[in-house]
Copies of this chain bind each other. A is one copy, B any other.
């Protein structure tokens, strides 16, 4: 996973001057892995091309060899998160069967994609600003939320969801729970690099989202 294994260059940031003639062995993908770390640490607004150059250990002109600039890097990084999320909606189990089962699949897979693409989804969830790339990301995020909210409404119309919580509000709280993972999950702190923990988190999300905390039997 690119997200969790930045290339060696990314680990040396700050250890040497930015444009030290270091050989540029980056691909757009590995450059993105470094970029997304810096955006998440400093904020998109607070990140300059200088910061990216220093973190990547290559000159700004080397970065411009790969992309047109900071805004394109943002678009590529959040695009990766969005592509992963939208792909879920086309999976067979998201389009076939009862809405409540499709919804359960989408909830499970959304948590999985969030964990697999953690830095990219973290960046997507923190986008707030007014540049064209940020507005585009916010719009696509809203589209995704609307698609899921439709599924919640369809499941509610079938009588498969509880009737005493509005679908729109349920969708917001449900995604609030899932999205909160980016705030407290730190795969590096997990003994096995996070895989086992990620599976337990996904199961917990699905169980709590659909069944709640209280024992019912």
Contact = CB atoms under 8 A, between A and B. Distances in A.
Interface residues of A, number: 41
Interface of A: 43, 46, 100, 152, 159-166, 169-170, 172-181, 183-184, 200-201, 203-205, 207-216
B214 A210 contact: yes
A176 B165 contact: no
Contacts of A178: 176
Given A164-B207, A174-B208, 18 more contacts: A159-B215, A161-B215, A162-B215, A164-B203, A165-B207, A165-B213, A166-B204, A169-B204, A172-B184, A173-B177, A174-B177, A174-B213, A176-B177, A176-B180, A180-B180, A209-B212, A209-B213, A210-B213
The complex is assembled from copies of this chain, and their number is 2
Q: Is the interface of A mostly helix, strand, loop or mixed?
A: helix
Nearest to A165: B204
A159 B216 CA distance: 10
Contact of A200 (B166, B177, B200): B166
